[in-house]
Structure 1
């Protein structure tokens, strides 16, 4: 359905695909479960490569995780519960980080105590011309996230511009990440660039989307239709009887093919081999050694 808004034809976003990602054993041991939120070819999810919903209920003090490399993309991390990091830098519930791995970086995610934790971590493709950008880390703590709060809704915008809010995060790829919490029966209608790839992931409750009123429930993912051109689209949400908490991801597709292997994204297999060689030879620095102007906290 199309409406006219400020002399522009605005198409309503509708759910075109939905699924319920199953919980799988995670790589951190028996206390770790992981859900692969993106279950479609990159041609359809571009620029989103993978998104994992990682849940950990750690019942001992044995360390898990550790240092590992990345290159050729960005990690986009939202903490839903618990903490992640070390004594130098700890992310807590509601905090958000974009790490530009770019030309190559090593970072450490070690958990060495009992804790419950839930994080959403995405791999976001970099534009081809920025594939080997200098590594950079940007953090925004919950208290500084732009927010809109009223009697019916609470919206936090971690990246991009949405609902009249704009995040300070600097983006190579135009990216919206927003946490929307609606009270029971509440409605909201918000604009999105029509060309953005977009999907919703329900953390709690249920929500109906668009004019079709397709319903997503807790643990379900809904991919939205996408249009071409520079116009706007309308995202209509109606919370269910118990309200809803849903995370919106939307970004401009880059239309650059990628080669993925292990912790690296590249344009060719030769580049993948070079990245492994650089890592083995110690040519990738640890994120903690980045100069202060490449470690940005908002």
Structure 2
């Protein structure tokens, strides 16, 4: 007889670390690696996550190919311009999803005199999608459903989380949620058991998993997972707030393909990366991304 009441896989903290920061020099005021790029194989399908504080002039017109980005605005206003005519301003709590695919060219700048504070996650594309059409999607904070839980809330940006579907239209299976809890509140986050997942603490302190590992602001962690499990099977990740706290949790299915990442390009081979540089130099990414007045 088939077992129908199997207990969900219980996740715990795998590895955790405190983010360190450097000062690249004005206008790039401060930068830290939440997910260091040299560990991208362990983070698959994620490549890196950067936390940046910057003024205007830091991330002007530049190209991308072969991956996706998920940019979360912590504070300030982020001005987006792309060379297909797109223009938008994102505020705190807003997210922009970009599929670079075969080639994107855009600018991400602080609006006006703002000091902008962002988290940008690079999400890989499988080889079969690296030649897909580029597109952008803005997910404003009010677009993401908020699920009230005992002592807190869960804001869902992507995937099926807490009984609601996030609005992000990612080309690969991914979840993204912001969990806010009052001191003493507990919550169990449900994810597909085969998703590789990580978290980043935005505020306060929480204890996670059966180990009750305590993590606080500017700490990140990967979670245990069942890589060969079933996409339809649930896993449970328990957390309790030791103080008023907020955490971002992301998950995705590992791609397990070779990666060649250099500068703004993420491909499968270095030959493909060299081709991306050549295509950009020969104008195949289109005109510069500048705002049309």
Q: TM-score, normalised by structure 2?
A: 0.89
The 5-angstrom pairing of residues 131-142 of structure 1 reads 131-142=130-141
The 5-angstrom pairing of residues 240-279 of structure 1 reads 240=242, 242-279=243-280
Tell me, in whole angstroms, the C-alpha distance in 2 between the residues paired with 1:86 and 1:201: 24
Shift of 1:222: 1.4
Give aligned pairs, total: 279
Tell me, in whole angstroms, the C-alpha distance in 1 between the residues paired with 2:288 and 2:186: 42
2:44·2:196 contact (CA, 8 Å) conserved in 1?
yes
Query: Who is 1:21 aligned against?
Result: 19
Tell me, in whole angstroms, the C-alpha distance in 2 between the residues paired with 1:287 and 1:49: 26
1:91 and 2:93 are equivalent in the alignment? no
Task: Tell me which of 63, 68, 76 is aligned to 1:69.
Answer: 63
Query: Who is 2:186 aligned against?
Result: 187
Query: Who is 1:102 aligned against?
Result: 101
String of CA shifts for 1:177-231, please: whole Å, max 9, x gaps: 1111001110011211111111111010000111211111111011111112103
Tell me, in whole angstroms, the C-alpha distance in 1 between the residues paired with 2:152 and 2:23: 34
1:248 counterpart SS class: strand
Query: Who is 1:236 aligned against?
Result: 238
String of CA shifts for 1:121-172, please: whole Å, max 9, x gaps: 0110001211111101111111111111356112111111111121122222
2:27·2:58 contact (CA, 8 Å) conserved in 1?
no
Task: Tell me which of 45, 48, 52 is aligned to 2:46.
Answer: 48
Tell me, in whole angstroms, the C-alpha distance in 1 between the residues paired with 2:287 and 2:11: 41
Query: Who is 1:203 aligned against?
Result: 202
Q: TM-score, normalised by structure 1?
A: 0.88
Distance 1:151 1:234, change over 3 A: closer
Worse overlay, 218-227 or 29-38? 29-38
Q: Which runs of 5+ in 1 are unaligned?
A: 290-298
Distance 1:151 1:237, change over 3 A: closer
Q: CA RMSD in A?
A: 2.1
Q: Which runs of 5+ in 2 are unaligned?
A: 82-86
Runs (4 or more) in structure 1 with deviation over 4 Å come to: 286-289
Query: Who is 2:84 aligned against?
Result: none
2:244 counterpart SS class: strand
The 5-angstrom pairing of residues 105-120 of structure 1 reads 105-111=104-110, 113-120=112-119
